[in-house]
Structure formats: C-alpha cells, structure tokens
Amino acid sequence: MLPHDASTATKKICALAPIIPVLVVHDVAHARPLAEALVAGGLPVLEVTLRTEAALAVIAEMAKVEGGVVGAGTLLTPDDVKRAKDAGATFGVSPGATDRLLSACEDAHLPTLPGAATATEAMRLLERGYDMMKFFPAEASGGAPALKSLASPLPQISFCPTGGVSMANARSYLSLPNVACAGGSWVAPDALVQAGDWPAITELARAASQLSRDA
C-alpha cells in the first residue's frame, strides 16, 4: 500500500464520525457489548489501544460487530502491526512515526494514522506521502491554538487530535479547517465499562456523535 493510498483510506475512516473512541479494555468479555454500545450511539470507528494483555482478543471480538470499524492504537513496532492485522484490525494508529513502522504498515496494507506534534514531524510525514495524521498529545502540545497555527503553512494536512480531548473542548478542535475528527476516551469511562452500563455509554456516544463543526 502506497502512503498516499493509506492516507486516502484513513481519511475515509476519519470522516465516518466526529469522534473516535480511544479504548483501553482489560476484559475481553466487555469487548462486544462495548462496541455495540458505541456503534449504537453513532460512533462506528473504534481505536483499541494495545496497552492491555486482552487487546488483541478485544480487537478480534469487536471486529465481529456489525457496523463497527475497528483499529489498533499504540502501534510501536512491526510486530505490533502484524499482530493487529492478524487480529482483525482494519486500521492502525501510532503516537508518532518511524520509517520502520510506516514501512511495516504499508507492507501489511494497513491504513495508518501516524502521529505528529510539530511542523517538522508533519512535514516529514507529508514528504513521505501522508497527509492525514494524528496530533498527539493534543492538549500538551498546545491544543486547538497550536493546530490552528499549523493550518496556514500546512493547509494540505488534516489531523485527528488525541490526548486531553474531552466533551468540553472537542468543539474547539472540530471547528478548525484542518481537523477531520478527534479521538477521546471520555465516551467509554472505565467505571461504566466495569459496571456494564452499556446504555449510559450509548448516550455518551450519541452526544459525541452529534458534535458539529458549526456548534
């Protein structure tokens, strides 16, 4: 997969909803009902971070949910890419980007959202052929004002800010011309997941899905 094709595929995924839930799931038994709750609330794109022992099994279960588009987050190595793809991930997300990791994603035909936090990092990815990126860590890197500053010199790049994004500040990001969507964990808080309160999670997802650029 060529970098341009990967970015095009990732853009299509990012266009499906304004918010991508960033999920840290410890128990595979929660995978399917959690995915169903989020999809029912209007958030079909799900990022499962590879931060737990259950993550790959969670991806495999969530991939069975109708209407869901499941990806793997926190890709750091080529082995992560292979395991995520084998588990059923249809896209990948990385906090940063290295040539080795990008090559592994391209070889695996796994559309990827590579991370960038500075103009230099974004330019390097653009030079390789990527124009859809993750802005991480968003709030710690200057938040919406920082992203707004990148829009003028780098108008051809679109971002998905993640890291500190919440219901309270999501609109400030989504109102920017260079933001395609945002990633956040608030739509699936651990307390609700552990309690199995799927209707409450669906309501959080529904509120997030209705965030608009104009509001």
- What is the domain-level CATH number for residue 165? 3.20.20.70
Tell me, yes or no, whether 59 lies in a domain. Answer: yes
Distance CA 129, CA 3 (A): 5
Q: What is the mean pLDDT of residues 208-213?
A: 86
Tell me, yes or no, whether 215 lies in a domain. Answer: no
Tell me, yes or no, whether 160 lies in a domain. Answer: yes
> 134 forms bridges with which residues in the sheet?
115, 160
How confident is the prediction for the chain on average, in pLDDT?
A: 97
List, for residues 16-43, the tens digit of each pLDDT value. 999 999 999 999 999 999 999 999 999 9
Tell me, yes or no, whether 7 lies in a domain. Answer: yes
| Helix %, strand %, coil % of the chain (to 5) | 45, 15, 40
**Which tokens hold the place of 71?**
């990806």
Where do we find the tokens 């780098």? 154
Tell me, yes or no, whether 170 lies in a domain. Answer: yes
Give the residue numbers marked as catalytic.
47, 134
Tell me, yes or no, whether 55 lies in a domain. Answer: yes
List, for residues 95-105, the tens digit of each pLDDT value. 999 999 999 99
Assign 214 a pLDDT band (cuts: 50, 70, 90).
very low
Residue 213 pLDDT greater than 60, yes or no: no
pLDDT at 215: 44
Decide which of 126 and 214 is more confident. 126
Tell me, yes or no, whether 91 lies in a domain. Answer: yes
Is the dihedral angle over the CA atoms 91, 3, 161, 172 positive or is it negative? negative
Residue 65 pLDDT greater than 80, yes or no: yes
Assign 150 a pLDDT band (cuts: 50, 70, 90).
very high
Who's near 29: CB < 8 A, 6+ residues apart? none
What is the residue range of 120's domain? 3-209
For helices 55-62 and 78-87, give the axis angle rounded to 10 degrees. 40
C-alpha 96 chain-centroid distance: 13
Structurally, the chain folds into a number of domains equal to 1
pLDDT at 212: 76
Tell me, yes or no, whether 214 lies in a domain. Answer: no
List, for residues 122-143, the tens digit of each pLDDT value. 999 999 999 999 999 999 999 9
Q: What is the mean pLDDT of residues 106-115?
A: 97
Assign 153 a pLDDT band (cuts: 50, 70, 90).
very high
